[in-house]
């Protein structure tokens, strides 16, 4: 199909929203994206948003990726979460030999998913041997390849170290058919992500499928996108996802307020308290969105000018993402409370968005400890205040 500029991703995402919203109940019930939604995401190349152009991907600007996530999340949070997870996983292609990257991403469906950092692999001639189980592989039910982030143990039993003395972390990649999958995702929110566990037993991983992800010396692409680490892009993508959920929740509450008259009270649209609450909540959501996107734009401009990624950039992105997720959760809470008893009925989607948002807020990207990390770095004599829009 015709290749598109990065921001056309947003239009394609918006066009898919009715299909995704229509299938949202089925996604929730079956705990996986429907075949129709998965196929639409593939055909519109949304999974390839962050894949290098050299491999036929879009290599989208950070802001375009974030807007894509926000639009999909308005329709269904689980779909957005899977898409965001697998899109960022595709950034690993920038650290792989082209033939390995082509085998993973240019053979249909070309979707990679992975879980949390855990366990070790044994270095052997030509590659590595792995026997372990990993958790939290969002999007794995649509994936053709899986990954795992592991420490390396040499043949003599010693742990492989980097120059600074820290353990070397490799991202090993293997076909999903090489793994045993475990259906463990019985949760209150983001049910459709199918964030399952997976294991391998004595699996050989050739060297070409063991990437030094997020290690600048291993990077094969020169675009500004790949100056960002995958963790930075995860944080901004999932923060944008939370904005989409909050926007949909607040819009639903506004629409409800236009027509609902609670028992024994005046119509919500005529209630001064409701009017004021909606005004303040709208301001909070817009402020959070403006902060997140302004931070992304500032960092992107500097990277696009050829400047390297810095600790100031990392801190700016981290606190913007964390704060935005927390503010989105507050918006969702306010909107849910305003909806009253209507919000508890599954037919209305209020309760689903409430559960989805609070599941997002429990994830690693929303940890309160990120503020401690930022504060420690800001107080350091070697770090300036994070960049602001200018």
* Predicted local distance difference test score (pLDDT) of residue 14: 97
Chain segment 239-258, per-residue pLDDT in tens: 999 999 999 999 999 999 99
* Predicted local distance difference test score (pLDDT) of residue 82: 98
DSSP 8-class letter at 225: G
Per-residue tokens: 180? 């045993």
- Whether residue 114 is predicted with pLDDT greater than 50 in this model: the reply is yes
Checking DSSP bridges between strand 145-153 and strand 169-175, what pairing results, if any?
A: antiparallel
CA distance 23 to 280: 32
* Predicted local distance difference test score (pLDDT) of residue 381: 67
State the DSSP H helix or E strand holding residue 205, giving kind and residue range, or none if neither.
strand 196-206
State the DSSP H helix or E strand holding residue 275, giving kind and residue range, or none if neither.
helix 272-304
Which candidate, 225, 219, 192, places its Cα nearest to that of 73? 192
* CA dihedral of 206, 83, 321, 164, whole degrees rounded to 10: 0
CA distance 338 to 286: 19
Distance of CA 129 to the CA centre of its chain: 29
CA distance 162 to 146: 25
Which candidate, 65, 75, 33, 31, places its Cα nearest to that of 292? 65
Kindly report whether the global pTM for this prediction surpasses the value 0.85. Answer: yes
* Predicted local distance difference test score (pLDDT) of residue 161: 94
* Predicted local distance difference test score (pLDDT) of residue 384: 60
- Whether residue 389 is predicted with pLDDT greater than 50 in this model: the reply is no
For the stretch 214-218, contacts whose Cβ atoms lie closer than 8 Å and that sit 24 or more positions apart, written own/partner, are 214/95, 215/95, 218/95
* Predicted local distance difference test score (pLDDT) of residue 383: 67
Chain segment 40-98, per-residue pLDDT in tens: 999 999 999 999 999 999 999 999 999 999 999 999 999 999 999 999 999 999 999 99
Beta strands in 65-195, from DSSP E residues, in sequence order: 112-114, 120-124, 127-137, 145-153, 169-175, 180-182
Whether 92 contacts 143, CB under 8 Å: no
Q: How confident is the model at residue 262 (pLDDT cuts 50, 70, 90)?
A: confident
SS3 readout for 141-172? CCCCEEEEEEEEECCCCCECECCCCCECEEEE
CA distance 118 to 239: 25
């Amino acid at each position: 199909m015709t290749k598109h500029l990065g921001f056309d991703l947003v239009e394609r995402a918006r066009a898919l929203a009715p299909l995704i919203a229509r299938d949202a109940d089925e996604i929730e019930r079956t705990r996986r994206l429907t075949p129709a939604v998965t196929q639409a995401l593939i055909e519109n190349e949304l999974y390839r948003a962050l894949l290098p152009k050299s491999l036929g991907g879009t290599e989208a600007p950070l802001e375009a990726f974030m807007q894509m996530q926000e639009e999909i999340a308005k329709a269904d949070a689980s779909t957005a979460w899977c898409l965001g997870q697998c899109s960022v996983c595709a950034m690993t292609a920038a650290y792989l030999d082209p033939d390995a990257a082509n085998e993973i991403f240019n053979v249909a469906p070309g979707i990679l998913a992975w879980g949390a950092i855990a366990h070790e692999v044994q270095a052997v001639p030509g590659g590595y041997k792995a026997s372990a189980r990993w958790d939290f592989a969002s999007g794995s039910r649509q994936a053709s390849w899986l990954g795992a982030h592991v420490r390396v143990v040499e043949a003599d039993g010693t742990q492989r170290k980097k120059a600074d003395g820290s353990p070397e972390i490799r991202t090993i990649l293997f076909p999903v058919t090489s793994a045993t999958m475990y259906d463990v995702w019985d949760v209150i929110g983001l049910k459709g992500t199918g964030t399952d566990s997976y294991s391998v037993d004595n699996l050989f991983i050739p060297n070409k499928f063991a990437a030094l992800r997020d290690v600048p010396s291993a990077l094969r692409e020169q675009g500004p996108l790949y100056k960002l680490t995958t963790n930075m892009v995860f944080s901004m993508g999932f923060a944008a996802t939370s904005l989409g959920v909050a926007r949909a929740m607040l819009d639903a509450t506004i629409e409800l307020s236009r027509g609902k008259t609670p028992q024994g009270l005046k119509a919500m649209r005529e209630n001064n308290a409701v009017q004021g609450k909606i005004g303040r909540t709208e301001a909070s959501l817009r402020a959070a969105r403006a902060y997140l996107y302004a931070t992304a734009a500032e960092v992107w401009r500097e990277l696009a000018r050829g400047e390297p990624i810095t600790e100031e950039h990392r801190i700016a992105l981290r606190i913007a993402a964390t704060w935005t997720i927390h503010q989105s959760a507050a918006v969702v809470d306010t909107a849910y409370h305003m909806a009253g008893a209507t919000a508890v009925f599954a037919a209305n989607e209020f309760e689903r968005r409430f559960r989805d948002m609070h599941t997002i807020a429990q994830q690693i990207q929303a940890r309160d400890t990120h503020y401690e990390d930022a504060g420690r770095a800001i107080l350091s004599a070697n770090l300036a205040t994070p960049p602001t829009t200018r």
